[in-house]
């Protein structure tokens, strides 16, 4: 059972938009046992779309197309699919009603003809009702194969996948089970990890694959297995994990399927009835945002401060001016005072601080670009680590966030 994803839109090919839809769809299909054979991104061009549809039909059982269903003139997917199936467009009454309802209740503007025209669909298509947008999804069967077309707006595509596409695929096709277990590790490079677990990796059974996914101070190790007996597969993978865990216990922080590291930290804090606050200089809000993007953050996250200008560290946070004068603003001493003050102000159990130079220039600091101090204050005291994270601003910020999470995880899960 194989799928191909086709994403349509010049904006993807010229790099104006990152295609996040394919990753969402790939993950969702995997969860129901469908492998994605290929992802193909093509231009808003009729001949090219027709060619991509024909090639996908050869390779895959399920062809999922996103994009090009908007109301504007550059959107040609619907007409092209219609041509591919030698079909004609007919107005769908339910879609018309849905569009009228959306405009009445949400848009609250006069409805445009171009939006009403979105209710036209190929006559052989089953409509997948898009309750949150005007472009309907379409489901067209051809022999054993199915072609699915969805709008490219991520929010609308996701709702259609969850409400319509996945339930229908689950009924239509018999699928194997695909099980992924991903071990999150922090603080060791992929080559060293690979050497540590080499003997174990060499003895993996053929139907279970291992992949290394390194990224800015963390490496994810993904085990993937496929088979028709779900429980056997789960047990096999669990046994393999039991063998490898002792080899990497100093860098292992949890399983990605249980959540990202910040989610694991949040769950543990919530369970222990503890709270966290952050104070950020070089990471500029990114660390706070990493926690608050997830639901449930308010049960452990008290808040944070971004003391970007040096003077705000003194005026608002209460770092001593002489500490900054004596040690410079990027220093262990300032990082520690920041964390301690933050913990006091926010009345939190833990507080973590970042101060460093993300670059490209050094700003008020004496330290080189890429130097970052991260301090963690607890009721026992305050501990600081120093890092050299290179000279690329985005990487320095993201690595610093990962290092802060690593320090916090170690502290919160220690006993």
Residues 99-138 within binding reach of a second copy (CB under 8 A):
107, 109, 112, 114-115, 134
For residue 137, the SS3 value is strand
Q: What is the separation of C-alpha 397 from the centre of its chain, rounded to a whole number of angstroms?
A: 17
- Rounded to the nearest whole angstrom, what is the least distance from the CB of residue 311 to a second copy in the complex? 8
Interatomic CA distance for residues 72 and 138, integer angstroms: 18
Strand partners, 224: 180, 209
Decide the pairing of beta strands 145-150 and 350-356. unpaired
- Inter-residue contact 180 to 222 (CB < 8 Å): yes
* Contact range with a second copy by CB under 8 A, out of 165-173, 203-211, 238-246, 321-329: 203-211
* Contact range with a second copy by CB under 8 A, out of 140-148, 219-227, 242-250, 264-272: 219-227
Interatomic CA distance for residues 48 and 6, integer angstroms: 11
- Rounded to the nearest whole angstrom, what is the least distance from the CB of residue 136 to a second copy in the complex? 16
Residues 6+ apart with CB under 8 A from 376: 339, 350, 351, 352, 353, 382, 383, 384, 407, 408, 411
- Inter-residue contact 41 to 19 (CB < 8 Å): yes
Closest CA to 33 of 161, 179, 221: 179
Task: Report the greatest alpha carbon distance in the chain.
Answer: 78
Q: Which of residues 66-105 bind a second copy (CB under 8 A)?
A: 70-74
Q: Long-range contact list for 115-118, CB < 8 A, 24+ apart?
A: 115/71, 117/71, 118/69, 118/71
* Contact range with a second copy by CB under 8 A, out of 25-33, 161-169, 242-250, 331-339: 25-33
Q: Which of residues 242-271 bind a second copy (CB under 8 A)?
A: none
- Rounded to the nearest whole angstrom, what is the least distance from the CB of residue 225 to a second copy in the complex? 12
Q: Which of residues 155-194 bind a second copy (CB under 8 A)?
A: 155, 180, 182, 189-192, 194
The size of the chain, in residues, is: 415
* Contact range with a second copy by CB under 8 A, out of 8-16, 77-85, 168-176, 236-244: 8-16
Instruction: Output 23 or 93, the one with its CB closest to a second copy.
Output: 23
Any contact of residue 220 with a second copy (CB under 8 A)? yes
- Rounded to the nearest whole angstrom, what is the least distance from the CB of residue 71 to a second copy in the complex? 5
Residue of 46, 392, 410, 411 interacting with a second copy (CB under 8 A): 392
Instruction: Output 94 or 191, the one with its CB closest to a second copy.
Output: 191
Any contact of residue 225 with a second copy (CB under 8 A)? no
Any contact of residue 393 with a second copy (CB under 8 A)? yes
Structure tokens belonging to residue 41: 């991104």
Residue of 22, 80, 98, 331 interacting with a second copy (CB under 8 A): 22
Q: Which of residues 26-65 bind a second copy (CB under 8 A)?
A: 26-28, 30, 35-44, 48, 52
Interatomic CA distance for residues 163 and 145, integer angstroms: 20
- Inter-residue contact 264 to 254 (CB < 8 Å): yes
Instruction: Output 87 or 314, the one with its CB closest to a second copy.
Output: 314
- Rounded to the nearest whole angstrom, what is the least distance from the CB of residue 245 to a second copy in the complex? 19
């Amino acid at each position: 059972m194989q799928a191909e994803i086709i994403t349509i839109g010049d904006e993807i090919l010229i790099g104006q938009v990152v295609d996040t839809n394919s990753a969402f769809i790939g993950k969702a299909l995997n969860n129901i046992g469908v492998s994605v054979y290929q992802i193909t991104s093509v231009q808003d061009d009729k001949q090219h779309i027709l060619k991509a549809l024909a090639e996908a039909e050869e390779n895959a059982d399920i062809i999922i197309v996103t994009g090009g269903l908007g109301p504007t003139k550059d959107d040609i997917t619907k007409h092209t699919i219609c041509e591919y199936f030698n079909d004609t467009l007919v107005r769908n009454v339910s879609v018309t009603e849905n569009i009228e309802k959306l405009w009445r209740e949400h848009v609250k503007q006069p409805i445009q003809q171009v939006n009403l025209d979105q209710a036209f669909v190929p006559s052989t298509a089953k409509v997948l009702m898009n309750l949150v947008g005007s472009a309907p999804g379409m489901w067209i069967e051809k022999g054993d194969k199915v072609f699915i077309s969805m709008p490219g707006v991520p929010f609308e595509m996701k709702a259609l996948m969850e409400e319509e596409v996945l339930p229908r695929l689950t009924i239509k096709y018999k699928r194997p089970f695909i099980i992924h277990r991903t071990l999150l590790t922090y603080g060791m490079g992929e080559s060293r990890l690979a050497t540590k677990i080499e003997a174990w990796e060499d003895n993996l059974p053929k139907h279970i694959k291992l992949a290394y996914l390194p990224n800015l101070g963390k490496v994810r190790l993904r085990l993937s297995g496929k088979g028709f007996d779900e429980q056997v597969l789960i047990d096999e993978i669990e046994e393999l994990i039991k063998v490898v865990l002792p080899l990497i216990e100093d860098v292992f922080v949890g399983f990605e399927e249980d959540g990202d590291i910040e989610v694991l930290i949040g769950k543990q804090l919530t369970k222990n009835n503890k709270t966290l606050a952050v104070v950020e200089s070089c990471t500029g809000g990114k660390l706070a945002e990493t926690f608050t993007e997830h639901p449930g953050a308010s049960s452990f996250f008290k808040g944070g401060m971004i003391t970007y200008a040096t003077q705000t560290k003194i005026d608002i946070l209460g770092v001593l001016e002489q500490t900054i004068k004596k040690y410079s603003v990027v220093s262990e001493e300032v990082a520690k005072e920041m964390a301690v003050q933050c913990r006091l102000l926010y009345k939190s159990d833990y507080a973590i601080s970042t101060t460093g130079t993300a670059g490209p220039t050094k700003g008020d600091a004496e330290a080189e670009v890429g130097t970052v101090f991260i301090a963690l204050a607890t009721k026992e005291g305050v501990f600081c680590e120093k890092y050299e994270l290179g000279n690329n601003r985005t990487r320095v910020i993201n690595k610093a966030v990962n290092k802060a999470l690593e320090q916090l995880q170690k502290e919160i899960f220690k006993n």
